[in-house]
Amino acid sequence: MSWLIDFWHMIWPHLGRGLLVTLKLSGGALLIGFLLGLPTALIRVYGSPWAKRLATLYVDVFRGTPLLVQLFFIYYGLADPHLTTLAESIGLPPSLLVLPPMTAAYAALGLNSGAYQAEYFRGAIQAVSGGQMMAARALGMSRWQAIRHIVLPQALRIAIPPWSNEAAYLVKYTSVVYIIAVPDLFGEARRIMSVHYNQMIMLPFVGFIYLLMVLFITWVMGKVEAALRIPGLEMEEQERF
Amino acid sequence: MTQPIVRIEELHKRYGDNEVLKGVSLEVQKGEVVVIIGPSGTGKSTLLRCVNLLSRPDSGHVWVEGEEVTAPHVDINRIRAKVGMVFQDFNLFAHLTALKNVMAGPVWVKKMPKEEARELAMEELRRVGLADKADAYPGQLSGGQKQRVAIARALAMNPKVMLFDEPTSALDPELIGEVLAVMKDLAREHMTMLVVTHEMGFAKEVSNRIIFMEKGVIVEEGPPEQLFYNPQHRRTRQFLGKITELYGNAETG
Ligand SMILES: Nc1ncnc2c1ncn2[C@@H]1O[C@H](COP(=O)(O)OP(=O)(O)OP(=O)(O)O)[C@@H](O)[C@H]1O
Ligand SMILES: [Mg+2]
């Protein structure tokens, strides 16, 4: 038994630190993604044609290209000497473009998640019947009041299941950031494996930690969904069977 | 002459190639109940929506209480607050209780303090006979109850005129009566009402005037006795004949 305890003492300081980084990245990117995604969705549904086009461009670019390419572009691409000299020549500090690994990771994951979240929110907003908006406007609410008090409270509820999916995906996708030397859970595991050649233990173990995180998110979001359920609506759904 | 509550002048509205309203003029006096009838696709809903500018007419003018709705730069939200509207498919706010639905206008549009709005909303729910359903969500109400809450929601804004767009068309026959009863109460209290409906019983019993619309124009208008028993136009006669066949002879009211 003691070798197990020794093993644990050997890996846990590293893995624990890596887990913390993964949790911070996941939480941060989800938050950034939410703050980007919700306005983007609102613009795509209610915005002026011009703003709509911009929002669509953002969503298409970040959903249509590989996350890895985005990450490399933000970390290596922006740091390109041509760009930094250009930045300097117009009076910007070049450090603005040479991002630390962690910042680049937040940016790439956040922008990417924002594009996906925007699509989920857009779908949810469009699923709220147009009659709700019409009734709100007929009462004299402004468009923004109607969005805030009538459309969004319903749309955000509808968006919970796809949003929890996105959260689960994101936690796993954070594992790509080891490639720009961010010491996340998977990065730390790789370091341990490269020293001890114990991948047959480490990989299942690390995979299991990701699994636990995903199950936890699913469980929490299930609770949130149940707590926010609108009485009378779930009954109609059940009766359909 | 007193000022009409609603005045519509030479209203035109088209959707693409489809000219829906071809010059409609109409006045509704205070306390009047005006019923609009006419075949499907004739522009009845569009006409109602032009009164509170949910649809914007291409030309023509609309006044509510002497204030021109169609004038440029008018504060449309302030005018809409004076015009109650009830829809065929209720459109109750699905995430709010009946009470909160009724409070919505006073609290968010009129910025009334919550407590005061709550009392007002309870009062309106009592008026439509649903005080006991204050805490129910729309999904827990029958169609007839939903529509009565929707009427209470509109009434809570203390409107100068109520627009009804086929308020009973989506209801099972046995639920139509309770909604019509509420509307009759309103008429008795001299609420000004502009009602699109196929309920001829209601039209005969409470309306001051019936307007027969077809293909974007008013074909004929007059008191119910004239339209029902002595219509001037062949089309009015044909339409009323068909509607009586479809909806029965004025008994549902
Ligand atoms: N938003 C819209 N866009 C395009 N066409 C529309 C729109 N709203 C209404 N129409 C068209 O305008 C015409 C009149 O519609 P409207 O709903 O006013 O008729 P209606 O008399 O209320 O008919 P119904 O008895 O079926 O309710 C119809 O041909 C309809 O297809
Ligand atoms: Mg209609």
Contacts of A136 in chain B (CB under 8 A): 93, 104
Give the model's pLDDT for residue B39: 94
Please give the distance, rounded to the nearest whole angstrom, from the Cα atom of residue B119 to the centre of ligand 1. Answer: 38
A1: pLDDT strictly greater than 90: no
**Atom 24, ligand 1: which residue's CA is nearest?**
B40
| Backbone Cα Rg of chain B | 18
Q: Which residue would you say has higher pLDDT here, A108 or A196?
A: A108
Q: Check residue B252 and give its pLDDT.
A: 44
Atom number in ligand 1 closest to CA B43? 18
Dump pLDDT digits (tens) for A147-194. 999 999 999 999 999 999 999 999 999 999 999 999 999 999 999 999
Q: Which residue of B has its CA nearest to A134?
A: B54
Q: Residue A231 and residue B109: Cβ atoms within 8 Å?
A: no
pLDDT profile of chain B (253 residues), mean per 10: 90 95 96 96 96 95 95 94 96 98 98 98 97 97 97 97 97 95 96 96 94 96 92 92 72 43
Which pLDDT score is estimated for B134? 97
Protein fold of A2-240: MetI-like fold (1.10.3720)
Q: Which residues line ligand 1 (CB under 6 A)?
A: B 15, 18, 20, 40-46
Q: Which residues of B touch A135 (CB under 8 A)?
A: 85, 87, 91-93, 150
CB within 8 Å of B24: residues ≥ 6 apart = B8, B10, B11, B43, B47, B60, B213, B216, B217, B218
Interface residue ranges in chain A relative to chain B, Cβ cutoff 8 Å: 129, 131-132, 134-142, 145, 149-150, 153-154, 157, 230-233, 235-236
Range A125-130, long-range pairs (CB < 8 A, 24+ positions): A125/A41, A125/A42, A125/A45, A125/A151, A125/A152, A125/A155, A126/A45, A127/A155, A127/A158, A128/A154, A128/A155, A128/A158, A129/B91
Q: Which of B19, B24, B45 to mutate to test the pocket of ligand 1 (most atoms within 8 A of CB)?
A: B45
Q: What is the DSSP string of B208-252?
A: SEEEEEETTEEEEEE-HHHHHHS-SSHHHHHHHHHHHHHH-SS--
Q: In the predicted model, what is the mean pLDDT of residues A63-68?
A: 97
| pLDDT at residue number A140 | 97
Cβ distance A132 to B91 less than 8 Å, yes or no, reads yes
- Residue pLDDT, tens place only, A87-129: 888 888 888 889 999 999 999 999 999 999 999 999 999 999 9
Judging by beta carbons within 10 Å of its beta carbon (0-12, 13-18, 19+), is residue A46 exposed, middle or buried?
A: middle
Band of the pLDDT at A8, cuts 50, 70, 90? confident
Closest CA to ligand 1's atom 22: B45
Quote ipTM for the complex. Answer: 0.93
Q: Which atom of ligand 1 lies closest to the CA of B46?
A: 18
Of A135, A145, A232, which has the smallest distance from its Cβ to B87's Cβ? A135
Mutation target for A interface from B55, B93, B95: give the one with most A CBs within 10 A: B95
Higher-scoring residue by pLDDT: B42, A2: B42
Beta carbons of B162 and B130 less than 8 angstroms apart: no
Quickly tell me which residue has 């996340």 as its tokens. A184
The pLDDT value recorded for residue B253 is: 39
Amino acid B62 reads V
A214 pLDDT band, cuts 50/70/90, is very high
The pLDDT of residue A235 is: 47
Take atom 7 of ligand 1 and give the residue whose Cα is closest: B15
Q: Which residues of B touch A130 (CB under 8 A)?
A: none
Q: Where do we find the tokens 């008090």? A: A149
| pLDDT for the residue numbered B2 | 80
What average pLDDT does range A44-58 have in this prediction? 97
Q: In chain A, where are the structural domains located? A: 2-240
* Nearest chain B alpha carbon to A138: B80
Contact A135 B136 (CB under 8 A): no
Q: Name the token pair of B34.
A: 């005006």
Residue of chain A with shortest Cα separation from B103: A139
